[in-house]
Chain A
């Protein structure tokens, strides 16, 4: 006869469960007495009664679990103990399995610890309130929602600043924090480049290019589309820059911004200089500033920004891989090209990328039209029908009212892609295909579909168009970059990693 009494502290189980376990174990061959129960007075009495009381048992309290067994020999004892362990952990696992569902941030915070980031994409009218609750509970916020008022944005950012928290957004589509992609973002190698940017697809293009050039990201902070406006004054950007200043893992800082107001630009520049680190400043669509010192490198597009940042990070020269298939596809196209095929049609899902392509055409003096231009002469009067060189942002409200964004549902772009390809005046169809978190599982396939259907008809009419795609992603993205690239090439695309390259190539084919 052997006996053993064990006390486990702070292991709570309800009495019904424990009674059942006791019952099961007592049926084992060779077990003469067993008690599995919490350290209540009643149970301690029973323990004494069956002769299994011990010092620990005596000292136990109702939050401790008592296991007492009398068995025929050591072997039986061990089997019994093992079984008890199994049954106890089964019970606790079963509880975890029925995952509790929470409806509010406050509920999670009151029950659990360590949740430090709120990812919020509820409709705009409720978004600010939820963000405020998150901040008040000491969580950083990634606020994807738009349609939040300027006043609400300022209130949130001030609250975040007062608590030392990061307030990304509203209208923030992309961020990579501690290597973790938030929103629409790519899986990118870790490294020493820290980025702060106001544009989602802008961040995606720069981070993916940096990855393919062999460098890596420490942090990529999204500020939201309106952060650099006069009223909001760059609150998030300034706070993020301050935090990157103190980050020993960040040696190179990249700032991506659309044209801010003069006042805000000044603040950003001052902060950039104060960083005392190498800075790559990408001011899309605005002129270079004078007298910024040698620590600050200015770039005018995303590709340049990524290259310069990678060079500073790796301390060596870098170059983007060229396209293998470009030469032959261009030749093929030129031999079949008809005289009326004079124009480029850019059909974009990412607004910043569309902007970038427009800039390149503008800088070369090529006339163009668009649905997102602010220049009167460039406005596309009838958005349903393209004219001359046209650049369309398919993510613009006109196209997405009541429908999902083309990055989530790329097939919504397809009708227009086919329409453009079949237009006898179209020479080049240019578009972006974006991989990574948040994007469709097979964006290349969807685009290839459109190209295939267009090509079937073009063959009948004895025509070809030149397909150019900027494929934005990394080899670590879930969609498998290599396979996506293959699909596009098989469908007749020239595939480039950089939107700038793609736009320049397109421009070269229609410049006079």
Chain B
């Protein structure tokens, strides 16, 4: 009789699950959150895509992704299951996700074992900061060349370059780091929520610009203005993009953004070209737009500091 009860209990929490897999890596932020044994974790599925499950949590938006998406301090990277993606699993938004022992459990659908997952930190997470006096013109030229050659047709860079998009051009000009708080705030106001897509173009450009500033060894005043502007205008964009911006204000960036910053700050033009290509492959225009923002950020720095 005891065996039967035990088995029943085991089944609800421990399976059998329709799908199960292992986590390959845990971003440092997620790791710290999941590992705390006495902290009750409130995790809820926010949205599901082919290769991404977004989770609302006590510490903001976390994501479960497959390896080709790349890594981030807020990502759990899992081994893909053959023949199935997250959409096919029919995980429902609003459904709960339980942390039990070393597993993330999504109802009876999916269990993810993160016991053997390695901890991941990007180069910025580890404390790398680029120095203004070490910044090389040729690296920024390489980034510009990459944007030119590989930027998506409808991406921010192309639109600015071809002089097609007044709003973005104006906003970007206002983002000049020597400007006053009010001018920078209005730039942020124009950019947030600008454009279609899961992460609007304006948000992506802003993320790129901010990433340059927050990862600089010297703090610039403009950083505070931009961050304040973001918090004031979060309502103008969607939940997911808004969370990306919030992460940016905390210097939490995707792996490819970190690698590009590192390449521009400390490596060679060839490395910049490679890192740019990787970043620009993300999303439809997202990657290109973020890269454009990074370019704008560095150009700003060079011009004015």
Per the CB under 8 Å rule, do A and B touch in the complex?
yes
Residues of A in contact with B (beta carbons under 8 Å apart): 442, 445, 448-449, 452-453, 455-457, 459-460, 487, 490-491
Complex Cα spacing A312 to B29, Å = 71
Are B148's CB and A453's CB within 8 A? no
B269 within 8 Å of A (CB atoms): yes
A456-B142, A490-B148, A491-B149 are known; give 15 further A-B pairs, CB within 8 A: A449-B145, A449-B146, A449-B149, A452-B146, A452-B149, A453-B270, A456-B138, A456-B141, A456-B145, A456-B269, A459-B141, A460-B138, A487-B149, A490-B149, A491-B145
A448, chain B: closest CB distance, angstroms? 5
B150 within 8 Å of A (CB atoms): yes
Complex Cα spacing A445 to B149, Å = 6
User: Interface 1/0s, chain B 253-296, versus A by CB < 8 A?
Assistant: 00000000000000001100100000000000000000000000
Minimal Cβ-Cβ distance residue in B for A452: B145
Complex Cα spacing A508 to B176, Å = 48
Complex Cα spacing A89 to B149, Å = 48
User: Interface 1/0s, chain B 136-156, versus A by CB < 8 A?
Assistant: 001001100110111000000
Number of A-B contacts (CB under 8 A): 37
B51, chain A: closest CB distance, angstroms? 21
Minimal Cβ-Cβ distance residue in A for B273: A449
B163, chain A: closest CB distance, angstroms? 15
- Cβ contacts under 8 Å, B270 to chain A: 453
Are B150's CB and A453's CB within 8 A? no
A109, chain B: closest CB distance, angstroms? 30
Residues of B in contact with A (beta carbons under 8 Å apart): 138, 141-142, 145-146, 148-150, 269-270, 273
Minimal Cβ-Cβ distance residue in A for B268: A453
Complex Cα spacing A448 to B150, Å = 10
Minimal Cβ-Cβ distance residue in B for A448: B149
- Cβ contacts under 8 Å, A491 to chain B: 145, 148-149
Complex Cα spacing A388 to B150, Å = 34
A442, A449, A457, A490 — which one has the most chain B CB atoms within 10 A of its CB?
A449
Complex Cα spacing A457 to B270, Å = 11
Pick the contact of A445 from B138, B141, B150, B269 — CB < 8 Å?
B150
User: What are 16 A-B interface contacts by the 8 Å CB criterion?
Assistant: A445-B149, A445-B150, A448-B149, A449-B145, A449-B146, A452-B142, A452-B145, A452-B148, A452-B149, A452-B273, A453-B145, A456-B145, A456-B269, A459-B141, A490-B148, A491-B148
Complex Cα spacing A16 to B273, Å = 59
- Cβ contacts under 8 Å, A449 to chain B: 145-146, 149, 273
- Cβ contacts under 8 Å, A452 to chain B: 141-142, 145-146, 148-149, 273
- Cβ contacts under 8 Å, A445 to chain B: 149-150
Complex Cα spacing A456 to B139, Å = 9
Pick the contact of B273 from A453, A459, A460, A487 — CB < 8 Å?
A453
- Cβ contacts under 8 Å, B273 to chain A: 449, 452-453
Minimal Cβ-Cβ distance residue in A for B277: A449
- Cβ contacts under 8 Å, A457 to chain B: 138, 269
Minimal Cβ-Cβ distance residue in A for B139: A456
